[in-house]
Chain A
Amino acid sequence: MEIPYTVTARPDTGLWNAKVGIWLFLASEVMLFGGLFSAYIFLRLDAQPGFWPHGLLNVPVGTMNTAILIASSVTVVLAWAALKMRQYAKYKFYMALTILCGVIFLFVKLYFEWPQKFDHFGAYIKPSALEKYEPYLGNKHLLSEGLPPRVEITGHLHNHEALHDPKIKEYEVGLDPIYTDPTNKEMDRPHFLYVGPTEKLAKIDKADVERATMFVPSHSAFFATYFTITGLHGLHVLGGVIVFVYMFLFGGIIYRQNPEHLANRVEVAGLFWHFVDLVWIFVFPLFYLL
C-alpha cells in the first residue's frame, strides 16, 4: 500500500500531504501561544499600579538572540534552496549553521539569561512600611511626577540563607542602581546596557516584607508569564533543533532515494522554524521592550 501525494503535489489542491499537515499544525500552535499571550494581556491589564515591573530583562542580549534566530530562519531557507538545486554539501553547511544558531539561542537562554534572573532578589514591602524605606523608593518624588509607586526593592541578596532561616531577621541586599538614588532618572530602569547591583547595602527587616523571592516564576505575574512563555518557546526551539539534527545526520538516506523528498521535509521543518521565530518576534517586544 502506498499513500499518494507524499512527495508530489495533488493536482487539484496543489499541495503535498506534509505541507497541509504543517500548516494545520501551525494554526493550532497560533492558538496555543495565542492563549498564553492573551493571558499576558489579561494579567498586565489587571496589574495594580507598580506591580508590573519594567526593564528587568537584558535588552542587548535579547536583541542578539533575536538576530540569531532571524539569521537561522535565513539559513534554513538557504539549506532548502541548496537541496532544490541538488547541492548536498551546501545543504549540509547551511543546516549546520541553522543548528548552531538554535543551540546558541538556547545556550544564551539557559546559561546566561535565566540564571541571571534566578540570582536576582526582590522584596515587596508591606504598604504600612513603605514610609520607612522611602529613602530607597522615592515614592514622594514619583507621586509628584504622576508616576506609579515603587513597592519592591531589588538587588543582590548577600545573606542567601535568610530566605530559609527564620532566625535571620533581615535581608542584606546589594541595591540595584535606582534604589541608591531614587529621584535620579539616570539611575532608573530600563538601562539599555545591563547594569548590575551596586555595592551599596540595604538592610530590610523581614517584618516589613510582604513577600521576598528570587526572580523565579512565583515572584510575580510578570515573571510567571515570562518564564512560561519563553520556556514553552525554548521547548519549541529545542524540538526544531532535534529535527534539524536528525535531518543533518540522516538526510543522506532520504536524499539518495529521492532528493525532492528531503527538500520537502526541510521545507516543512523550516516552516515550523519560521513560526518559532515569529513567536519570538512577539515575545521580544512584549517582555523586553514594553
Chain B
Amino acid sequence: MDAHSHAAHDPHHHHDEAHEHHELGFFRKYVFSTDHKVIGLQYLVSGLIFLFLGFCLMMLMRWQLAYPGTSVPVIGKILQNVLGPGALTNDGAGHPGLMTPEFYNSLGAMHGTIMIFLGIVPVAFAAFGNFVVPLQIGAPDMTFPKVNMASYQAFFVGGVIMLVSFFVPGGAAKGGWTSYTPLADIADQGPTYHVIFNGQTLWLIGFIFLITSSLLGAVNFIATIIQLRAKGMTWMRLPFFVWAQFVTAFLLLLAFPPLESAIVMQLMDRVAGTSFFLPSGLVVNGAQVSISGGGSPLLWQHLFWFLGHPEVYVLILPGMGIVAEIIANNTRKPLWGYKSLVLAALVLGFLSFIVWAHHMWLTGMGTVVSAFFQTTTMIISIPSVIILSAFFISLWGGSIRFTVPMLFATAFLPMFGIGGLTGIPLAFNSADLYLHDTYYVIAHFHYIVAPGTIFAVFAGVYYWYPKATGRKMSDFWGKVHFWPSLICMNAIFLPMFLQGMLGMHRRWYDGGQGWTLATEKVWGLSGFHWNTPISIAAWVMGLAQIPFIINFFWSIRHGEKVDDNPWEATTLEWTAPSPPPHGNFTTPPVAYRGPYEYSLPGRAKDYTMQTEPVQPDERKMPEPTMSLSH
C-alpha cells in the first residue's frame, strides 16, 4: 500500500533507487553517513577512544593518590610543557610534573564527564543501539536517518568542546561531574579568565551539544522501535536488548531536558550575572559578592539528580540488554522469564524518575522527603534483582559455551551484583550519612559501571563484531584481554570499600596522607597505603587493554572469516549479510516466533531463527510419561 502510493506520486522513485547503488564517496560513506550502521560504528570508535582517554585521566590521578608530592614520571614533564605551569609544577626536588590541586580537580571532573557522557552513553546506548536495534527489529534503517547523522555530529562537537576546555587558561572544569553550585557558579571566573573560554563555561556549552545529541538519538530510537518493526515482530517478540534500549531512550528523552534547563540557568549565572543558584549574602574569598542573590544551590542538585539518577539506568540497561542476548545465545536455551524481564525493565524505567533525592541525604531536605525517597529507592531494587535473578537462572542447566563474549557476560553478573548490593547501605539515609562522598561510594558505582557496563560493552563488541565486519576477533587475545581485566577491576575496587569505610573522602588531593582517618590499618595496610596497590592494578589494567585495541583493528582485515550467523543465534540481525549492505536485508524479514527459541525439542538444530515459520505440529507438548505425571 505504501509503495503503491509512492509510485503514484513519485515518478523519480525508481530512478533514485538506481542511483543509490553507486559507490558513495569517502566522506558521504564514513563521515557524513546517514546509514545507521556507519553511525553506530562512528559512535563506537569515538566512544571507545573517549573511554580510553577518560581512563588515562584516571591513571594520572592514581599517581597523585599513591605518591602525593612527587612528580608524574615522563608524562608529567610532557604535560607540563603542553598545559603550562598552572596545571603541573616542579616538585620539591625540582623535577617537573607535579600536578596542582586545580589540575587534579580538573582530572576528576573530566574523568566523570568523559566516562559517562562521552564514553558509556555513546557506546552502550548510541553505538549498539544504532547498529543492532534496526537489525534486530528487521528495519531497513532508523526512522530519521538525517536526524541520526545530526545526533552524531552534535555529540562530536560536544566532545571537541570538552577536549578543548583542557587547553584554555585555567584548564578544564573543576567542579566534579556533578558541578554543584554555588562553587561551580563562581569557579573559573575573575580577571584572569575569559568570559566564555574557561573550563566551566565550556563544560556547560559542551553539555548542551551532548544533550541535543542524546535527545535526537532518543526520539529516533523510540520512533524506530514503534514504527519500523518487521512484519510479525510483535512487542513480545522483541529481543530483550531492544526493550532495554527502548526504556533507555525514554529515560534520556525525559530526564535530560531538566538538566538542560539547569545548564541554561548555570550558564546565565556565569555569563549574564543572574543568581539562579547563588544564595543571598554569598561570601567569596572573604568578600560579599555583588549579586542579586535569592537563588537556591539546592535547586541545581534537584535538577541535576533528576537527570543523574535515570542516567544510572541509562548506563546499566543497555548493558543488561547485551548480556541477555549473549547469555541466551551461549547457554543454548531460552532466556528465563522473558516477560518478567520486560516488565522489570519498564518498572525500573518508571521508578528511576522518583528516586533522585537519595543522592542528597546530606543536604538536610527534611525527614518526610528523605523517607519518601528512601522508600522508592528500596522499591527500585526489586526490578533490578528480578533482572539479575533471571539471568542467573538462565545459566542453570545450560550447556554453556564459554566464548569470549560469554566470558564478559558471565563476569558481568557477579560484578553487577556486588555493585547493586553495596548500594543498599547508601540507600538508607542513616547509613549514608557516614558513607557519603567516601571511596565506598566510588567503589559501589564503579562496580556497576566499570566491570558491569564496560564488561557488557566489551561482550557486545566481541559478539557483534562478526556482523559488522564479517570476521571474528581473535579468541586467544580476547581471553588475554578478559582475565587481567577481571582481576584488575576487583583489585582496584574491592579495597576502595575498605578505604571508604575508614572514612577516606573521594575528593582528597593527597590520597588521605595527612588525615588520621586514613591512617588506620585494615588488612595490614593503612587507608592511605591501600592507594599504592590500587594504583598499580589500574596501570596494569591499562596495559591489559592493549590486546583489545590491537585485536580490534587487526581483525578488521585479518580476523577469521565467518558466515552470517557464526554464533548460531536466533535473532533477526543474523539473517542479514555480514556486513549488512545499505538497507540491511536482501528481502524484508518476517518474524514468526519469539527471540530465544534455542534447543526446541524435536529439531535437528539447537536454534530456531525468528524468521522460520512455525510448523503445524511444533507447538504440541509431548505427552507426559508415567514417571512425571504426578
Contacts and interface: CB of A to CB of B under 8 A. Distances in A.
Contacts of B2: 4-5, 7-8
A196 interface: no
A25 B257 CA distance: 11
Contact of A32 (B3, B228, B261): B261
Interface in A11-25: 13, 15-18, 20-21, 24-25
A17 B144 contact: yes
B21 to A, nearest CB: 10
Contacts of B150: none
Interface in A212-261: 213, 216-221, 224-225, 227-228, 232, 257-258, 260-261
B256 A28 contact: yes
Nearest to A221: B294
A39 B215 contact: no
A13 B272 CA distance: 46
A69 B61 CA distance: 54
A193 interface: no
Q: Name, among A24, A29, A213, the residue most crowded by chain B CB atoms within 10 Å (CB to CB).
A: A24
A46 interface: yes
Contacts of B228: 3-5, 17
B107 interface: no
B296 A13 contact: no
Interface string B194-229: 000000000000000000000100111011001110
A29 B295 contact: no
Nearest to A5: B227
Given A35-B303, A43-B299, A228-B274, A24 B219 contact: yes
A33 interface: yes
A216 B219 contact: no
A221 B10 CA distance: 55
A128 interface: no
Interface in B248-306: 253-262, 264-265, 268, 272-276, 280, 290-292, 294-296, 299, 302-303, 306
B278 to A, nearest CB: 10
A27 B250 CA distance: 10
Given A1-B583, A3-B141, A21-B223, A43 B295 contact: yes
Contacts of A70: none
A257 B220 CA distance: 25
A218 B227 contact: no
Contact of B141 (A1, A38, A228): A1
B261 A36 contact: yes
Contacts of B290: 211
A162 B261 CA distance: 35
A218 B272 CA distance: 6
A24 B218 contact: yes
Nearest to B299: A42
A2 B255 CA distance: 32
B156 to A, nearest CB: 21
A3 B258 contact: no
Contact of B291 (A5, A34, A218, A258): A218
Contacts of B257: 28-29, 31-32, 34-35
Contacts of B3: 2
Contacts of B261: 32-36, 39
B273 A217 contact: yes
Contacts of B268: 217, 224, 227-228
Nearest to B254: A31
Contacts of A257: 9-10
A17 B218 CA distance: 14
Nearest to A21: B223
Main secondary structure of the interface of B (DSSP, over half): helix
Given A1-B583, A35-B303, A21 B272 contact: no
B218 A1 contact: no
A35 to B, nearest CB: 3
Contacts of B292: 211, 213, 218-221, 224
A85 to B, nearest CB: 17
A1 B226 contact: no
A64 B257 CA distance: 30
Given A8-B1, A31-B258, A224-B292, A218 B274 contact: yes
B5 interface: yes
Nearest to A10: B227
Given A8-B2, A31-B257, A1 B303 contact: no
Interface string B151-191: 00000000000000000000000000000000000000000
Interface residues of B, number: 55
Contacts of A15: 226-227
B385 to A, nearest CB: 29
Interface in B538-553: none
Nearest to B220: A21
Contact of A20 (B5, B141, B222, B255): B222
B408 to A, nearest CB: 33
A7 B280 CA distance: 55
B143 interface: yes
A275 interface: no
Contacts of A225: 276
A211 B292 CA distance: 7
B401 interface: no
Contacts of B256: 28, 31
Nearest to B269: A224
Contact of A28 (B145, B215, B275, B295): B215
Contacts of A5: 2, 143, 227-228
A213 B272 CA distance: 13
B149 to A, nearest CB: 14
Contacts of A36: 261, 264-265
Interface in B310-343: none
B299 A39 contact: yes
Contacts of B272: 216-218, 224, 227
A17 B274 CA distance: 41
B623 interface: no
Contacts of B260: 32, 35
A27 B253 CA distance: 8
B140 A1 contact: yes
Q: Name, among A7, A13, A36, A211, the residue most crowded by chain B CB atoms within 10 Å (CB to CB).
A: A36
B582 interface: yes
A275 B140 CA distance: 32
A47 interface: yes
Contacts of B227: 4-5, 10, 13, 15-17, 20
A220 B280 CA distance: 11
B276 A224 contact: yes
A2 B140 contact: yes
A216 B215 CA distance: 31
A221 to B, nearest CB: 4
A51 interface: yes
B20 interface: yes
A38 B276 CA distance: 12
A228 B294 contact: no
Contacts of B274: 217-218, 221, 224, 228
B617 interface: no
A199 to B, nearest CB: 29
A144 interface: no
B143 A17 contact: yes
A60 B572 CA distance: 61
A7 B5 contact: yes
A28 B254 contact: yes
A220 B273 contact: no
A216 B273 CA distance: 9
B223 A17 contact: yes
Nearest to B271: A217
B17 interface: yes
9 contacts: A1-B582, A5-B227, A28-B218, A28-B256, A31-B254, A216-B272, A221-B276, A224-B272, A258-B9
Given A15-B227, A25-B219, 10 more contacts: A4-B228, A5-B143, A29-B257, A34-B258, A36-B265, A218-B272, A218-B291, A225-B276, A228-B265, A232-B264
